């Protein structure tokens, strides 16, 4: 029985990986660390500055984010409040949904849960896989999300990439890799690092309570350790009379 189950599981693996990725494109791994506050703060800054113009994260309030990431209300007000008036506001996109739909053909989706609906690796690879495509209305395409309606908003950082495709034995075009046509203001390593910070922040955004849970978790473990001593002493006390 066990063997049969293992076999079934192994047989379904290719289907599982195909269902989660973008048309068989290899996703790059990303080091997520919700304990890295500096990385989360950098990610928050990128998100607020470059994504909130079109996308919302409408389950999150600015002051909650500030509190979680250790950013004071003054700093939130000065540096992160472009799209709202009050620190208690929800993180709503600047551009009304109807206008965005008119501009791009599709309304930019709310990004609160994107790293849970997709995967952190998907998001990280997506943000690094935009390439120039003269046939697309925005001038951009993406190997992870073919014919995406989103333009590459960070191209000044990353530069312009060209995607190289090669025909395989069956005449099907297979993605080979990227070639940098015009460098951006960041090196590849710097851009990857910035996208890792952004992915880290998106993972936090998908489940903000995780940070609180980690903190409480440590106290719970300390409590259990102390409790164990008392429980042990109590057990000894009870069993003394039985023996």
CB of 132 to ligand HEC, least distance (A): 17
Phi-psi region at 76: left, alpha or beta (left = phi > 0; alpha = psi -120 to 50): alpha
Q: What whole-number distance in Å separates Cα of residue 83 and Cα of residue 56? A: 10
- For 12, the 3-state DSSP assignment is helix
Q: Residue for token digits 């500030």?
A: 66
CB of 156 to ligand HEC, least distance (A): 12
Choose between 12 and 185: whose C-beta lies nearer to ligand HEC.
185
CB of 172 to ligand HEC, least distance (A): 23
Q: Residue for token digits 């998908």?
A: 206
Q: Residue for token digits 């309030």?
A: 61
Nearest of 24, 17, 13, 29 to residue 168 by alpha carbon: 24
Residues contacting residue 62 through CB under 8 Å, at least 6 positions apart: 76, 80, 81, 84, 86, 87, 88, 89, 91
Q: What is the DSSP letter of 179?
A: E
Q: Which residues pair with 163 in a beta bridge?
A: 178
CB of 62 to ligand HEC, least distance (A): 17
CB of 41 to ligand HEC, least distance (A): 16
Interface positions with ligand HEC (CB under 6 A) = 50-51, 53-55, 104, 106, 108-109, 111, 114, 118, 123, 126, 148-151, 153-154
Nearest of 44, 92, 93 to residue 70 by alpha carbon: 44
CB of 92 to ligand HEC, least distance (A): 14
Is the CA virtual torsion 75, 78, 82, 83 positive or negative? positive
CB of 127 to ligand HEC, least distance (A): 6
Q: At what angle do helices 37-50 and 188-206 cross, to 10 degrees?
A: 90
């Amino acid at each position: 029985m066990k063997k049969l189950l293992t076999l079934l599981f192994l047989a379904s693996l290719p289907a599982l990986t195909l269902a989660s990725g973008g048309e068989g494109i290899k996703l790059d791994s990303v080091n997520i660390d919700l304990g890295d506050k500096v990385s989360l703060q950098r990610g928050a800054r990128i998100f607020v500055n470059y994504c909130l113009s079109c996308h919302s994260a409408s389950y999150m309030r600015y002051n909650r984010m500030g509190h979680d990431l250790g950013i004071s209300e003054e700093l939130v007000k000065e540096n992160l409040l472009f799209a709202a008036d009050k620190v208690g506001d929800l993180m709503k996109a600047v551009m009304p949904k109807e206008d965005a739909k008119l501009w791009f053909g599709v309304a930019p989706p709310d990004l609160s849960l994107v790293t849970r609906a997709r995967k952190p690796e998907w998001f990280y690879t997506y943000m690094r896989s935009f390439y120039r495509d003269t046939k697309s209305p925005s001038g951009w395409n993406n190997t992870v999300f073919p014919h995406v309606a989103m333009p590459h908003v960070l191209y000044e950082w990353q530069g312009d990439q060209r995607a190289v495709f090669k025909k395989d034995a069956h005449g099907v075009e297979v993605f080979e890799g990227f070639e940098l046509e015009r460098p951006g203001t960041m090196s590849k390593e710097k851009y990857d690092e910035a996208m890792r910070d952004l992915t880290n922040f998106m993972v936090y955004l998908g489940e903000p309570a995780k940070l609180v849970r980690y903190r409480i978790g440590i106290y719970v473990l300390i409590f259990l350790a102390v409790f164990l001593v008392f429980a042990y002493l109590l057990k000894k006390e009870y069993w003394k009379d039985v023996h």
